[in-house]
Structure 1
Amino acid sequence: MLSAAMNERLTRVGPGTPGGELMRRYWIPIAPYSQFDDENPVHKVRVLGEDLVLYKDKSGTLGLIGDRCLHRNVDLKFGIPDQCGLRCPYHGWLFNEDGKCVERPMEATPRGEIKQKLKAYPVQELGGLVFAYLGPLPAPALPRWDLFVWPNAIRQIAIMKIDCNWLQCHENTGDPTHSAWAHGHMFQYVLEKQGRYEEAAARAEHTLHTRLKTGIGIKELYANPSTHGISKGVRYSKDLGADEDYTREHSTVIFPFFTQTGKTGAPRSEYQIRVPIDDEHTYHICYQVYAAPPGVDAPKQDSVPWYEPPRFDETGRPILDYVLAQDALVWDAQGAITDRSQELLGRTDIPIVLLRRQLDEQIRRVEEGLEPINFWRDESPEIIYGSGEAPDYSKPLLKHNFRKLYHRGFFNDDADRYGPIIEDVKNLHRRIEEAEIAAREASADAT
C-alpha cells in the first residue's frame, strides 16, 4: 500500500504537480495522424490536464495551441485552417503554430503585433501518431521506439478513452497474474452466459486456455529494472501443478507509460500506451503491428488507420468477450483514482511495487534538475529496442502461437477484430504460415 500523499504524488499530472512535471519531459502521443483529413483538420485535445487544439493547416503543418481565441474567448475547435495557421471563426484572427497572432482582420493595424500569445507546444508525427512535447524548451529528441519504425509491417491504432487515472491502466503491466482471472475465468464466465463456451473450448488455442494455464503452478514472480523500464515474469514449478519447471517472461515495461506485448518483428506485437488526459481520464492507445519475417513481404500502407473498439453494446451492457475490454473494465472499476492506502498487496504484486518505486525515483530526478530515463537530449538512435535487443528470427518471437494464426479465427479474442486492416492481417498470417510450411518441407527434403 501507499500513503495518501504518495498516491497523490504518483497519480496527479496537472501543471506544477510532481508527476505532471515528469510527464512533461516526454513526447506524448495525442492522436492518430490519419484523423487529420480534409473533413476533420481540427481537433480538441486534453492532455496532462490542459485543454488545447490540434490542427493541420493548408500547408500540412501541424500545430498544438491553446483552445481559446485571445480576442473574445471563442473555442478554437471550430477554427478554420489557413495556409499558415488557424483562424478564429468569429473575427478571423490568425494564430500560427507558435501561438502567435499574426493577423487581425478589421483592426486598424491588422498586421500589428500584440504581446499576448496562446500557449503552444511542439508536435511531430512518427509511425502514424502525432506526438506533443509540453515541457521546458528546447524539446528533446523524439525517441524512435522500434514498433514505430520497424520495416516490412502493417499497423493499426486502437483508441479508447477510459474514465480513470492513467496509473491504474499502467499498473496492469506490473501484474502478470491478472491474466488467469480477468482473461481466463472471467472470459469463461462471459462465454458461458452467452452460450458460447463450448465453441471456444473446442478451439485448442483460444486465448482462454492459455490464460487459465498461467494461474497454475506459480512459484514466484520476479521484476528487475532494465535499460528502458522493467523486465518481469513468472516462475512455475512442476511440484505446484505446472506441467514442468519453467519461467515465462511477461510484457516489457517502457518508461513512462508504454507496455510492449510480443517481440519486435513478430507476426503480432503491440504497444499499449496509457496517456494521461487529466487526473481521472486516460487516452489509451493500442499500437498494433503485424510484421512479416524475412522472405515474406507485408502489404504497403499509405497511412496508419485508427479505430475505436466498442466497450458497450446497443443496450449499454459491457462487451467483455475480448481481452482489452476486460482490462478496461477492471481499470475503471477501481474508481477515478484508486485509494492505494487501502490496498492489501500480495506476493503477485512484486512488479507493481517496483513500477511505483521507479516512477517515484524518476519524479525525484526531475525535481533535482536531472534528466529522467528514456530522455534523449539531442538525437534519438535510429531505432530503440524497448526490450533491449533486436529480434532473432532463429528463435520463436511469440509467447502465444495464436498471435500468428489470425487467418484461422484467433483474431476474434481481442480488439484487433474491430480493426480496419484485419483482412490484410489474416492474409499476411496465411502467407507467413505457408512460408513456414515450405521451409520445413525444404529442410526435410534436404535431410
Structure 2
Amino acid sequence: MGELMRRYWIPVRPTAQLVKEEVMAVRILGEDLVLFRLADGQMGLVGDRCPHRMTELRYGIPDTGGLRCCYHGWMFNPAGQCIETPLESANDPFKDRIRIKGYPVQEMGGLVWAYMGAGTDALAAAVGPCHENTGDPTHSVYLHGNLFEYVLQKQGKLEERAADGQMHTLYARMKTGNGIESLYVNPTRYGMEKGINYSKELGADRDHVSRHATVIFPFYTQTGGPGMVRQEFQIRVPVDDTNTYHINYGCYMGPEEVPVTVQESIPYYDVPLFDDDGKPLLDFVLAQDAHAWISQGPIMDRTQEHLGRTDMPIVFMRRQFEEQMRIVEDGGDPMNVFRDPATMPSLIHGGHWDEREEEGKAAVTGKGSDLSSFRGAYHKGYAIDDADRYGPAMPQVIDLMRRIDEAQEEAARA
C-alpha cells in the first residue's frame, strides 16, 4: 500500500500554515520529515535530522538558498543536498558528499503537495479513501441522525438547535433510512460510484436512486451536488499505519449575480474532537464521523467483521485497492497516474453527479434537497452543525449565503 500511495502527489499541509510557521515537522507515509519555506518562496520537504550530529531540523533556520541546522549551521537546499558546512574547511569538498532525503513540493489551491515516489517524472491525480467511511452510504441514518438527536436531547438543546423538524440535518438523515431496496457500486474511469436504490413500496416517498458522493482514487471524496453553495472535498492522507491526516477542503460558491471577494490566501483551521474536559464532541457531523472511525482502533482485524448488504461498497473499495496494489507489484502504473502531460485530463471527476439522466431517476442529495440544505443555510443558524463552525472564514460564508438568499428572493418577486 505504501508503494501504491507513493505514485501520487499528496497534500501535506495548508500553504497558509507554512507561511505562518516556516519550518514544521510532518509525518507522511510513515516518514518523519521537515517542511520549510524560504523567504524567496522556495519550499522544501527533507529528512528530519541533520546528518552531522543528528539534531532535528524542525529547529532549523530558513536561510537564503536552504534550511540551516540550528546546531552547527550546516545548510541543505530543498532537494536535500548539503550546500554549506560553515565551520569546516572552506576548501574541503566535504559538503558535496552530504545529502539527506528531499522530495519535490508544489503549491496548488492553498495546499502544499509532495511527490514521495521514486523519480520525479510522474504527474498524478491526487484524489479517495484512506479509511473507509467514503464507501458507506447508509451510516448517516444513525450516526448523523439518531445519534445527533440523542446528543442534543442530552444537552437540552434539541428544541434550540433543531426545532423546525425539517431543515436540521438530523431529520433528513434519519429519513434516508426509509425504503432502502438495495445498494449499488460500480467502477468509474477514475474511481468508483455508489449509492442507494429506494422503493416506494418499502416506505420511500417515491422510487428513486440516490448517488452518494463522488470518489476518486486513491483517497478523495467530493460531497455536494451541482448548484449547492457549499462543496466539500475530503482528502484522507496516510500518515503511517495507524493515523490519517484528514483534510476537509471547503469551497463556497455563489451565482454570477452575487459578487464574491477574491481571497488573498486560503485560511486553515484545526477541528477539535474533544471539549476542554477531554470528553468527545459529538454535536457536529465531522466529529461524529471521526469518533466512529477512531473507535474502531488503530489496526482492526477485519476478519472479525460481519458485513451486511449495506457494506457492498466497502467490499468493492477494498478489492479496488488490492487490484491497484497488484498492478504496482507487477511494475505497472495504477489508476490516475499520468506520465505524459498530454494524456492527463484537465479535470478528474467521478462521473455524472446528481443529474437527471433519464425520466424517473434523480438523486436525493443535491440542489434543493432536504439532506444538503442545512449546509446552504448557515446564515439561518445552521453553521453550528458541522466543522465549518470553527472556520475563520465563516463570517464571509454566512454573508455570502445571506446575499444569495436575498438575490433568489428578489428574482422570485420579479
Give the TM-score, by structure 1 length.
0.85
Are 2:25 and 2:32, in contact at CA under 8 Å, matched by a contact in 1? yes
Q: 2:120 aligns with which of 132, 135, 138?
A: 138
1:325-357 deviation line (CA, Å, top 9, x unaligned):
000001010000111111100000011111111
1:111, distance to aligned residue in structure 2 (A): 6.7
For the residues of structure 2 that align with 1:390 and 1:182, how far apart are their CA atoms?
A: 24
**Are 1:50 and 2:12 an aligned pair?**
no
Who is 2:384 aligned against?
412
Who is 2:52 aligned against?
71
1:73, distance to aligned residue in structure 2 (A): 0.3
SS in 1 for 2:36: strand
Who is 1:4 aligned against?
none
1:260-297 deviation line (CA, Å, top 9, x unaligned):
11136631011111111100111110001101123222
Q: Closer, same or farther in 2 for the Cα pair 1:66/1:43, shift >3 Å?
A: same
201-210 vs 351-360, greater mean Cα deviation: 201-210
Q: Closer, same or farther in 2 for the Cα pair 1:385/1:201, shift >3 Å?
A: same
For the residues of structure 1 that align with 2:15 and 2:58, how far apart are their CA atoms?
A: 17
Query: What amino acid sits opposite 2:136 in the alignment?
Result: D
- Gaps of at least 5 residues in structure 1 are 1-18, 146-165, 443-447
Query: What amino acid sits opposite 2:137 in the alignment?
Result: P
**Are 1:198 and 2:170 an aligned pair?**
no
1:211, distance to aligned residue in structure 2 (A): 0.7
1:124-170 deviation line (CA, Å, top 9, x unaligned):
1110000111001133225487xxxxxxxxxxxxxxxxxxxx96x63
Q: 1:384 aligns with which of 347, 350, 361?
A: 347
1:226-259 deviation line (CA, Å, top 9, x unaligned):
1211111111112211122121110111110111
Who is 1:158 aligned against?
none
For the residues of structure 1 that align with 2:139 and 2:104, how far apart are their CA atoms?
A: 38
Are 2:9 and 2:126, in contact at CA under 8 Å, matched by a contact in 1? no
For the residues of structure 1 that align with 2:307 and 2:53, how far apart are their CA atoms?
A: 52
For the residues of structure 1 that align with 2:147 and 2:48, how far apart are their CA atoms?
A: 42
**Are 1:249 and 2:211 an aligned pair?**
yes
**Are 1:25 and 2:7 an aligned pair?**
yes
For the residues of structure 1 that align with 2:192 and 2:92, how far apart are their CA atoms?
A: 53
Query: What amino acid sits opposite 1:386 in the alignment?
Result: H
Who is 1:431 aligned against?
403
Q: Closer, same or farther in 2 for the Cα pair 1:240/1:265, shift >3 Å?
A: closer
5 Å-filtered alignment, 1:47-446, equals 47-109=28-90, 112=93, 113-141=95-123, 143=125, 170-203=131-164, 204-263=166-225, 266-379=228-341, 383-388=346-351, 397=367, 399=369, 400-442=372-414
1:80-104 deviation line (CA, Å, top 9, x unaligned):
0011110000000010011000010
Q: CA RMSD, aligned part only?
A: 2.1
301-310 vs 233-242, greater mean Cα deviation: 233-242
Q: Closer, same or farther in 2 for the Cα pair 1:267/1:329, shift >3 Å?
A: same
- Gaps of at least 5 residues in structure 2 are 356-361
For the residues of structure 2 that align with 1:201 and 1:99, how far apart are their CA atoms?
A: 54
Q: Closer, same or farther in 2 for the Cα pair 1:67/1:143, shift >3 Å?
A: same
Q: Closer, same or farther in 2 for the Cα pair 1:300/1:96, shift >3 Å?
A: same
For the residues of structure 1 that align with 2:8 and 2:177, how far apart are their CA atoms?
A: 36
For the residues of structure 2 that align with 1:257 and 1:338, how far apart are their CA atoms?
A: 19
21-30 vs 406-415, greater mean Cα deviation: 406-415
Are 2:79 and 2:102, in contact at CA under 8 Å, matched by a contact in 1? yes
How many pairs align? 401
Query: What amino acid sits opposite 2:350 in the alignment?
Result: S
1:109-128 deviation line (CA, Å, top 9, x unaligned):
36724323101101011100
For the residues of structure 1 that align with 2:337 and 2:282, how far apart are their CA atoms?
A: 37
Q: Closer, same or farther in 2 for the Cα pair 1:441/1:36, shift >3 Å?
A: same
1:306, distance to aligned residue in structure 2 (A): 0.5
For the residues of structure 1 that align with 2:21 and 2:45, how far apart are their CA atoms?
A: 15
For the residues of structure 2 that align with 1:49 and 1:201, how far apart are their CA atoms?
A: 42
Are 2:8 and 2:125, in contact at CA under 8 Å, matched by a contact in 1? no
Higher relative contact order (CA 8 A, sep 6+): 1
For the residues of structure 1 that align with 2:258 and 2:158, how far apart are their CA atoms?
A: 36
Q: Closer, same or farther in 2 for the Cα pair 1:323/1:111, shift >3 Å?
A: farther
For the residues of structure 2 that align with 1:364 and 1:440, how far apart are their CA atoms?
A: 56
Query: What amino acid sits opposite 2:82 in the alignment?
Result: C
Are 1:56 and 1:81, in contact at CA under 8 Å, matched by a contact in 2? yes
Query: What amino acid sits opposite 2:375 in the alignment?
Result: R
